[in-house]
Structure 1
C-alpha cells in the first residue's frame, strides 16, 4: 500500500501542507470549486490524507466519507474532523469497501500519480458513483515533468522519485509520470467523459509572500503545478 509510507512523517506533512501555497491556496480551493454545489450530497474523499479537503467540503454542506492508505494520516484526520465523518483505511489499488452507487461525488486529490495502474481505481470510482455523479481529481501536471526532466521520454509511463522536506523531516516520494494522452485513454477506458479540464490560478486570498515573483509583478496570472479534471460516468 503506497500511502502507508506517509506514516513515518504524517504529522510533519500535515503541518507543512496546512499553510503551503500548493495545498492550502492552490489545490484545495481548486478542488472545492470544481466539486461544485455539494450541499446535502454524499461525497467520498479518496485519498483524504489528514483531512483538510474533507473538512472544506463538509463546511460546504457535503456528507463526507474519507479513505486513505495511511493509518497515521487518518489518525490526524480524525483529530481534525471529529467523530462524525466515517474514515476507512483502504488501498486504491483494491476494491473499495462501498456498495454500488453509494456517492454523488468522488474527489481524488493528488493521489493517482502515485499509481502505475489507473484502470482499477477508476473502475471502482465509476462503480460507487451514482448516475449523474461526478469524479473530481487532481494530478501532477505532465508538462512540469517534461520541463524538469527534458532528457526523459515524456510519452512513456514511468516511475520517478523526488526528495521533499516537511518541517525538519526529509522524505522520498515516488510517482508515476503519465502523458496527457494516456490520462484521457484511462478515463475513456473506464467509461468516463471529461466535462472539464482546469489549470487554475492561486486563490485570491493567497499571502503575497507565498506567490512566485512573476505573479506578484502581474506578468503572469498563474503557474503550472497540477492538472484538474471533472469526469462524468
Structure 2
C-alpha cells in the first residue's frame, strides 16, 4: 500500500482550513478534545506543533496562554498569521528536524494530528521533550489505530504501515498519506523519548455535534476517529 504521494498542504491549505472551521471531526471532535485535555492554560507558555491555520492556537490564546506555533507548510503559516496577527510568533519548521526553540522553553506542547504523518517518531518526540520543561505536558492527537484496521482489514494491525486516503476539502480534492502504528508502538515511543503516559482518551464529540451532523451519526451516539494522549515530561 505504499505510495509516492506526499502531504503537500501548500497546494490545498485554504480549502483544508475552510473545511475544518466547522467540520465534525475538527470543530466538534479534535479541537474540543484537545482544549478539554489542556484545561486551565492561563499564563502557560504553549507550543502548537503543526499549528496549521491556527485554530487551536487562537483558542488557547483566548484562554490566557502565551502561544507560539510552527508548521511545515508556508501557506498554513500565512493563514495562521492572518488569524493571529502579524506579531504572533509563528515559524515554518519541520518536526522531523531540530526545532528553532531553546531547551525547556514551554510548559505544554500541543501536537494535534501531526505525528501520524511521520514514519519515525524518535527524533520528533526527542525534540518535543527537549523544548518542554521538566514536568511539562505533551498533548497528542493521532489517527486511532483501529481506523487502519477498518479501512484495510487485510493488513496487519501490528505492522507500521504507510497508507493513503483521498479527501474532499471544501470542494478541492486532496490525498493525505499516513503511517499507521499499533497502540503499543505509540506508547513505547513515548516512553523511550522520556514521557510518562498520564491520559489515554477516546472522547465523545462535543455537545451539538449529533444535531448538526445527523447523517454522519446515523443511529450512533459516538464514534472513534482519533486517539488522544496527555504525556508528562520526566
**TM-score normalized by structure 2?**
0.94
Partner of 1:187, secondary structure, is helix
Q: Deviations over 1:15-63 (max 9, x none)?
A: 1010100000100000011112111110000000000011111111110
Equivalent position SS for 1:94: coil
Q: Give the equivalent residue in structure 1 for 2:231.
A: 231
Per the TM alignment, residue 83 of structure 1 is displaced from its structure 2 partner at its CA by: 2.4
- Residue segments in structure 1 that go unaligned for 5+ positions in a row: none
- Rounded to whole Å, the distance in 1 between the matches of 2:162 and 2:7 is 18
Match of 1:89 among 92, 106, 116: 92
Name stretches of at least 5 consecutive residues in structure 2 with no aligned partner.
none
Residue number in structure 2 paired with 1:213:
218
Give the ranges of 4+ consecutive aligned residues of structure 1 lying more than 2 Å apart after TM superposition: none
User: 1:3 and 1:124, CA in 2 relative to 1: closer, same or farther beyond 3 A?
Assistant: farther
1:69 aligns with 2:72: yes
Deviation at 1:84, TM superposition (A): 3.4
| Structure 1 position 21 matched with structure 2 position 16 | no
Give secondary structure in 2 for the equivalent of 1:214.
coil
> TM-score scaled to structure 1, two decimals?
0.94
Q: What is the CA-CA distance between 1:205 and the residue it aligns to?
A: 3.2
- Out of 125, 128, 133, the position equivalent to 1:122 is 125
- From 75, 80, 83, give the equivalent of 1:80: 83
User: How far, CA to CA, are the matches of 2:74 and 2:6 in structure 1?
Assistant: 9
What residue is the counterpart of 2:42 in the other structure?
39
Q: Is the 8 A contact 1:102 1:130 kept in 2?
A: yes
Native 8 Å contact 1:92 1:121 kept in 2 = yes
Q: Which secondary structure state, in structure 1, belongs to the residue aligned with residue 8 of structure 2?
A: helix
